[in-house]
A and B are shown apart, each in its own frame.
Chain A
Amino acid sequence: GAVVSQHPSRVICKSGTSVKIECRSLDFQATTMFWYRQFPKQSLMLMATSNEGSKATYEQGVEKDKFLINHASLTLSTLTVTSAHPEDSSFYICSAPESSGNTIYFGEGSWLTVV
C-alpha cells in the first residue's frame, strides 16, 4: 500500500553544518506535505506546509531561513536544517495526505543530533 518514506532515519552532524532530510511519497503523488518537529518529551508541532511547485508555508515562530523546505516534485519534499546548532536536535517527521484525501501517511521520522 501507499507509504511515505523518510531518510535518513538518524543523523548526527556538527554544529554549523547543514543537513537535509528527505520525505518521499511512494505509490502516490502528494502536492502537499507537512513537516513536524518533536522536542524532547513534548508533542509534535507543525513546522510548515510544503507545497509542490511553490513556496512553503511556515507556522508562526519557525525560521524559514533556517529550515529550508523544497517540494520539487509530486513525490519528494526536503527539509534542510541550515547552520545547525545543538538546540536543533530533535525528531522531525513528515506527512502526506493521499490524493483522494481519505488517508494521511506519516514518514518514519528522522532523529537529528547536532554535536
Chain B
Amino acid sequence: GNSVTQMEGPVTLSEEAFLTINCTYTATGYPSLFWYVQYPGEGLQLLLKATKADDKGSNKGFEATYRKETTSFHLEKGSVQVSDSAVYFCASTNSGGYQKVTFGTGTKLQVIP
C-alpha cells in the first residue's frame, strides 16, 4: 500500500522566513498527492494538490511540485506569516482514484513574530 513520510516537527521560523517541509511517498502506480493544513482546534483543510508528475500545486503562497523521479512532494513558501502556524499533513491517494487517503505524520509549524 501507499506510505507517506514527512519531516518531523515542530518547525519554528521567524516571520518572513522561507519554509520547506519535506515529503516523500511510496506507491504503486501514480498516486495523487496533497497537502492538508489543520489550524489549532479546527478541522482539515485542503491546501493544495497535484495529480500527475511535474504538476505544481499552489495556494496562499504555498507550492509543491510532484516529483516522480525523487518520489517527493515538498511544501514550500517563500515568506511565512504568523497566521501560517498550523499542522501540515502530506498525503496521497491510491492510484486510479480518490479513495483512501494515506497521511504523513504531520509537521507542526510555529511562526514567531
Find chain A residues with CB under 8 A from B103 CB. 36, 43-45
A13-21, A62-70, A79-87, A98-106: which lies at the interface:
A98-106
CB distance from B27 to the nearest CB of A (A): 15
- Whether A49 is near chain B, meaning CB under 8 Å from some CB there, is yes
CB distance from A5 to the nearest CB of B (A): 11
Q: Is the interface of A mostly helix, strand, loop or mixed?
A: strand
B93 in contact with A104 (CB, 8 Å): yes
Which residue of chain B has its CB nearest to the CB of A6? B43
Interface size class of A (residues with CB under 8 A): 20 to 34
Chain B, residues 14-50, CB within 8 Å of chain A (1/0): the string is: 0000000000000000000000100001111010000
Chain B, residues 82-108, CB within 8 Å of chain A (1/0): the string is: 000000010001000111111111100
Chain A, residues 41-52, CB within 8 Å of chain B (1/0): the string is: 011111001000
A102 to B42, CA, bound (A): 25
A103 in contact with B100 (CB, 8 Å): no
CB distance from B45 to the nearest CB of A (A): 8
Find chain A residues with CB under 8 A from B43 CB. 6, 9, 93, 106-109
B89 in contact with A101 (CB, 8 Å): no
Chain B, residues 59-103, CB within 8 Å of chain A (1/0): the string is: 000000000000000000000000000000100010001111111
Contact pick for B99, options A36, A97, A108, CB 8 Å: A97
Find chain B residues with CB under 8 A from A78 CB. none
Contact pick for B106, options A9, A34, A43, A95, CB 8 Å: A43
A93 in contact with B44 (CB, 8 Å): yes
B98 in contact with A101 (CB, 8 Å): yes
Given A46-B101, A104-B93, A106-B44, 7 extra CB contacts under 8 A: A34-B101, A42-B106, A43-B105, A43-B106, A97-B99, A106-B43, A107-B43
Report which A residues bind B (CB closer than 8 A): 6, 9, 32, 34, 36, 42-46, 49, 93, 95, 97-98, 101-104, 106-109, 111
Report which B residues bind A (CB closer than 8 A): 36, 41-44, 46, 89, 93, 97-106
